[in-house]
Amino acid sequence: MKKRALGNERGAALIVVLMLSAVALVASAGILYMVAKGSFLMGQQKRYQSALEAARGGKESMIKVIVDRGLDNAVWPGAASDFHANYFSPSMGTKLNLATESWGGLDNSLTIDPADTATYDLSFHQGQYRFYGKIVDTVQGNTGVDEGLVKLGVVLSGQGEVTVVSMPYLYSVEVLAQSDANPSERARVSLLYEY
């Protein structure tokens, strides 16, 4: 009969190597996951920045509409004759010229849903994006479009005339820019405009 040695360590090196290999495999998989996730997040950030810049351009268009008070002389990508029919909702004139309390049942929520035309006042397409704009609040003032000189001359007489203090309109506006190719690529901008 053979005696077995109590301190036999054959195969221990194999177990240690397998354990170290498993640890290295888990670490490598974790690093690869983090690199892939980082690339995905960088792509998402790039698409969001593009949509945000587009929304800022849409904001400038909304300011143009407010300054022109919704008149046909605004510069838009269509003929002046079809301007209101294709870009404005019927409520735009009311929201531009009356205080929010006088809007009646018009929508003044912050929600803009591209699938529901009742949730935005203005929609137009430019480049790879579609823009949706909405006036959500108007505080009425006494300013308006410049009509030139109202009096006969250029000098005030100084006797009995009262100069009216200009109180501007205040508009709270929401703008949404959404990509044509990828509807989940979108950005929103809110602004308060004084006119």
3 in a structural domain: no
What's the confidence (pLDDT) of residue 162?
64
pLDDT digits (tens, 9 = 90+) for 5-21: 556 677 888 899 999 99
Percentage of the chain with pLDDT > 70? Answer: 75
Integer Cα distance of 83 and 14 in angstroms: 79
130 in a structural domain: yes
Does an H or E element contain 163, and which?
Answer: none
1 in a structural domain: no
Res. 104: pLDDT tops 70: yes
Asked whether 108 and 134 are in contact (CB, 8 A), the reply is no
What's the pTM? 0.68
pLDDT (average), residues 89-114:
87
Reference 183, options 118, 110, 132; nearest CA is 132
Which amino acid is it at 2?
Answer: K
Q: How many domains does the chain have?
A: 1
Asked whether 98 and 138 are in contact (CB, 8 A), the reply is yes
Residue 118: domain span: 12-194
Give the highest mean pLDDT range of 37-41, 90-94, 143-147.
37-41
57 in a structural domain: yes
pLDDT digits (tens, 9 = 90+) for 154-169: 555 566 666 667 778 8
User: How many helices and strands (H and E) does the chain possess?
Assistant: 3, 4
